[in-house]
Structure 1
């Protein structure tokens, strides 16, 4: 089995080292191609207005001066000596739950893999508290990673789908188990924008990550994490709202 690892936290991120430890439980044919710097919130963006540069760190480890999507594209087309069987993205520092997936570079890297017809899985470690930086604990992901991935590496998945995994902010021995759940919902209308002033007196703005309301509907990833379970959510790339096709079609008939 050949596995490509990537992320959105950057080539030197602790979570990527954790993901490599997990992946090596399944194979030694590991390739890594990740952004050279953190790209959190990059979503499924491509670098189109400037050149992308790739640095080779060793025979199977590369970094890219671009987005997570760039990293997967370069990994598949330039770095690797053949297509991988699986793409693993993460382990992200922080949750990628509910609507987070629309912003997430971690999930978007997996999306790029799914678009290429490759089995793709995104993994994220939820953490509690603020300002932890690289001190975020990945114990839960490290202890449970192989248990979660083992069934996902050979289960039949429809084309243009991927799987999103989140580990709760708990000690490994406090996790209750694994739940397969649907995507939840955040109320981002209550998110914060922090205003400051730079040394020259000009204002700047920083998007805050706190004060976001969670709708803990039954059977969602948000509920699973809040109750101490690992969430496993299958995602599809078809964003069409099929129920509206007929009604809208009649408006243009």
Structure 2
């Protein structure tokens, strides 16, 4: 039985109420999932203004961007990345992966995917509390192939409840799960291989954006902030830690 507010599309796809782009909502959800209170999300108002950047606590372990649909598809057309492939070619799992990646099969869950990608990888993974809900989910999902891993999320009723609880909070009236949503969340993290990875569930696997300099976080000049400034040059986007 779906959680109250979850919509099942005519094609049978489970669809959530989307998360508000709000650091308080994001932080509340990851803490509820089982991330240490020492880790949180913050707005990043500029990648160029040193004074505004100084307001962001460092190190920055992940950077999330939200892009409106026209910008998102312009970016994907520009870099040649396939969106919603009919069949995945990415097939890695476990120790084969420098990062853990999820395919998005739940409608309107790109915010949840961005949060999971952000806290399940790199240094942020160390903040997942032992024996928490998220710790159990990651232990279950890490050795699985992508299709089975996505199914583990899709069929997890507790994750569904936690997402829907968070989706009803924030400063605005959340849209219904059956309403259209025209924004896309994308997460950038530093993998255990030292590379910058672009992660979202609509692509055919994770995107390697190159080796980062040792000691840099993702908001350093050689990290996601610099890389995204180039990728999104001429477009409108909103970054978030």
Verify same fold: TM over 0.5. no
Q: Which one has more relative contact order, counting CA pairs under 8 Å at least 6 apart?
A: 2
TM-score in terms of structure 1 length: 0.25
Higher Rg: 1
TM-score in terms of structure 2 length: 0.25
